[in-house]
Amino acid sequence: MDGKIIVVTSGKGGVGKTTVTASIGAALALQGKRVAVIDMDIGLRNLDVVMGLENRIVFNVVDVIQGRCKLKQAMIKDRRIDNLFLLPASQSDDKNVIKPENMTWLCNKLRKEFDFTFLDCPAGIEQGFKNAIEAADEAVVVCMPEVSSIRDADRVIGLLYSRSITPKLIVNRIIPKMVARGDMLSHKDVVEVLSIDLLGLVEMDEAVVISSNTGTPIVMQKESKAGMAFNRIAMRLDGHPDLPIEDPLAQKSIWKKLGIKMGRKKGAA
């Protein structure tokens, strides 16, 4: 097997990298792919909590790299979703304990085992970022429709290009009402500045907060707009790159409302 290594990054913290990683990972696993998600935020691990697997951690990525355990021993299998595995970060170490060459070694091992490996990159562009992008084949840049997030994403895109990685963009936490009022940048403004391929648009959704806190995958909730958006992003990554991107703003049209009332599938964001 020769799987893909995809790094999920953003530059700025708190834009939803971890949620995106967990959600796309779960969505692809539900679509039948063998998926590993790796928490690269050494010292500040979160991905285990978002996935509800924190109480099952015995070994972590640093243990694997330093040879204290086998890769298989450290990978935690999700009990709800087949084929979804987590390699957690160490909470007690420092990002500098991992070197880029360690990542090349680890990713080569993961490529053989999994169809998709997602690396949840830490915020910032320092060692942790460099480690995460070292062996990545593709990159997903997560950005919120706000100026500071765009600026950091832009910086990260420049750095990814310099490593010959062509990133794709997810615009996260769009609030259509605010965009319509003109109080929030639209995804078009974001794409205009960043000028990279759009992978998906994710609406602000309270269900994401709840599912993160309870450790349940948002993509399993069919009522959640964000969950459905993540499902479609996963499909675009897995052989359906042309699946049309739906504009959250366009849902306000009367035909869409009528369609929803007449019993068509809800929440097709």
Partner 1 sequence: MSNQENLPVRLKGVGDSLWVTIDPTLPAEQLKKELARPFERLRHLAVNARVILDPGEAPAGDGLIEELGQFLKDQYQVGQVSPPAREKPTPDVHRARSKDAGNGWHYHRSEALILSGRVRSGQKIQAKKHLIIMGDLNPGAEAIAGGDIIVLGSLLGTAIAGQPDNEDAIIMALDFRPTQVQIGGLVAAGTPASGGNSPEFARIDNNAIVVMDYIKANPFKRLAWPEVR
Which residues of the chain form contacts with partner 1 (CB under 8 A)?
A: 147, 150-152, 154-155, 157-159, 193, 195
- The CA distance from 6 to 9, in Å, is 10
Query: Is 123 or 159 the residue whose CB approaches partner 1 more closely?
Result: 159
Going through the chain in order, the beta strands assigned E by DSSP cover 4-9, 35-39, 76-77, 84-87, 116-120, 138-143, 167-174, 197-203
Q: In which order are the strands placed within the sheet that holds 84-87? A: 76-77, 84-87, 35-39, 116-120, 4-9, 138-143, 167-174, 197-203
Smallest separation, CB 57 to partner 1 (Å): 35
Least spacing, CB of residue 175 vs partner 1, in Å = 22
Measured distance CA(37)–CA(7) in Å, rounded: 10
- State which residue, 100 or 158, has the beta carbon closest to partner 1: 158
- Least distance between partner 1 and beta carbon 267 (Å): 34
Least distance between partner 1 and beta carbon 202 (Å)? 22
Look up residue 76 and give its two tokens: 């935690």
CA 259 distance to own-chain centroid: 31
When the beta carbons of 61 and 150 are compared against partner 1, the nearer one is: 150
Is the Cβ of residue 147 or residue 209 nearer to partner 1 in the bound state?
147
Give the shortest CB-241-to-partner 1 separation in angstroms. 23
- Closest to partner 1 by CB, 162 vs 214, is 162
**CB of residue 39 vs partner 1: minimum separation in angstroms?**
26
Tokens of 45: 């691990």
Integer Cα distance of 3 and 17 in angstroms: 21
**Which of 28/156 has CB closer to partner 1?**
156
Please state the three-class secondary structure of 20-45 as a single string: HHHHHHHHHHHCCCCEEEEECCCCCC
